[in-house]
Amino acid sequence: MFGRKMLLAAVAAAFALTSTYADAGFFGHAKKPDPDDISTALDPTIAAIQRAIDEQRLKDAGDLLDKTLLSGAKDPRLFLLSGELDLLRGRYVEALDVLKQADTVPLTRAKALECEGIALSMLERSDEALAALQDAVAADPSAWRAWDALAGEYDRRRDWTRAEAAYDHAMNGSDGAAIVLNNRGYSRLLQGRFDAAKDDFVAALEKKPDFAAARTNLRLAMAMKGEYDRATTAGAQDDQAALLNNAGFAAMMRGDYTEAEALLTRAMQAKGEYYARAAQNLDVAKALEARQKAPPVASQ
């Protein structure tokens, strides 16, 4: 069976963490909010910020959030939104800082813990991420994004039973969202369950036809089954060199070294310039083939 860690490290397959996360700037260290800071007068503003985030109008969301915070508002929902924006723009440390101002208030605790868990996961602080996400789903068992991210943490530990259970919660809570289907499919790909993985990637693409991560992962699953022609059939928007590299890597993991070398050579030719990843993979494939063909060393 192929090496799961090697697959994770060397192939450009895509596990997509759930998101509504970005950056509205750094808002300083305000005091911990009190439940009395929650004001219904801010409901329209908070709804407008959330709508801008959902519509990916991150600058609009950040501008309105800045303006509201600068007015002196201390509603914990604002700090939660600030953390979500930091996450969406990849500012994970800043997100953790501001989310601490929302995770002590019952109204915002579950969502804040979810966002903290995702930020910690992205920072590769896996043990802390696991704890935060477990707390998040305990606080809100319907938090499907937290379940999805928690499943990813179980995948890192190769705890497939817990991962499957967490994905089941995420699937039920999200009504089978494309992102959950993709992530569960990637988990099954790592387990070597290629047919089940393919089914999930196909279902994800049926729900979201432009889901590039699911399409990449589907091709990888095909290649892991030896379906190299299907895996490397390129569309107008596809990177042929990358498709050939990924298929070549999959062939190498299957022990199909002759096919791997052919695919990786084609990948370098298709690139039209030096292709470091394919060249490295080709060197590894040749080394593995030579090791396989070497006569056994006589025991002393």
Average pLDDT, integer, range 82-87: 95
Average pLDDT, integer, range 121-129: 96
Q: How far apart are CA 271 and CA 106, in angstroms?
A: 53
pLDDT at residue number 142: 96
284: pLDDT confidence band, cut at 50, 70 and 90?
very high
| Cβ atoms 122, 92 nearer than 8 A | yes
| Cβ atoms 256, 226 nearer than 8 A | yes
Q: How far apart are CA 272 and CA 299, in angstroms?
A: 47
pLDDT at residue number 16: 57
pLDDT at residue number 280: 95
Give percent above pLDDT 70 in the chain. 86
Pick from 44, 38, 114, 115: which is nearest to 77 by CA?
38
Q: What is this structure's pTM?
A: 0.81
Average pLDDT, integer, range 256-272: 94
pLDDT at residue number 3: 43
> Of 1-10, 65-74, 163-172, where does mean pLDDT reach its minimum?
1-10
23: pLDDT confidence band, cut at 50, 70 and 90?
very low
Average pLDDT, integer, range 239-267: 94
Burial of 283 from C-beta contacts in 10 A (0-12 / 13-18 / 19+): exposed
299: pLDDT confidence band, cut at 50, 70 and 90?
low
pLDDT at residue number 275: 95
In sequence order, what DSSP letters do the residues of the chain get, joined into one string? ---HHHHHHHS------------------PPPPPGGG--GGGHHHHHHHHHHHHTT-HHHHHHHHHHHHHTT---HHHHHHHHHHHHHTT-HHHHHHHHTTTTTSHHHHHHHHHHHHHHHHHTT-HHHHHHHHHHHHHH-TT-HHHHHHHHHHHHHTT-HHHHHHHHHHHHHHHTS-HHHHHHHHHHHHHTT-HHHHHHHHHHHHHH-TT-HHHHHHHHHHHHHTT-HHHHT---TT--HHHHHHHHHHHHHHTT-HHHHHHHHHHHHHHHSS--HHHHHHHHHHHHHHHHHHSPPPPP-
Q: How far apart are CA 109 and CA 148, in angstroms?
A: 18
Kindly state the DSSP code that residue 297 receives in the 8-state scheme.
P
Average pLDDT, integer, range 68-92: 93
pLDDT at residue number 62: 93
12: pLDDT confidence band, cut at 50, 70 and 90?
very low
pLDDT at residue number 5: 40
Chain center to CA of 102: 24
Tokens, residue 278? 């394919």
Higher local confidence (pLDDT), 11 or 158: 158
Give percent above pLDDT 90 in the chain. 77
Mean pLDDT of the chain: 87
Kindly tell me if the per-residue pLDDT of 19 is higher than 80.
Answer: no
Average pLDDT, integer, range 88-116: 95
Class of domain 1-140: mainly alpha
Kindly tell me if the per-residue pLDDT of 216 is higher than 80.
Answer: yes
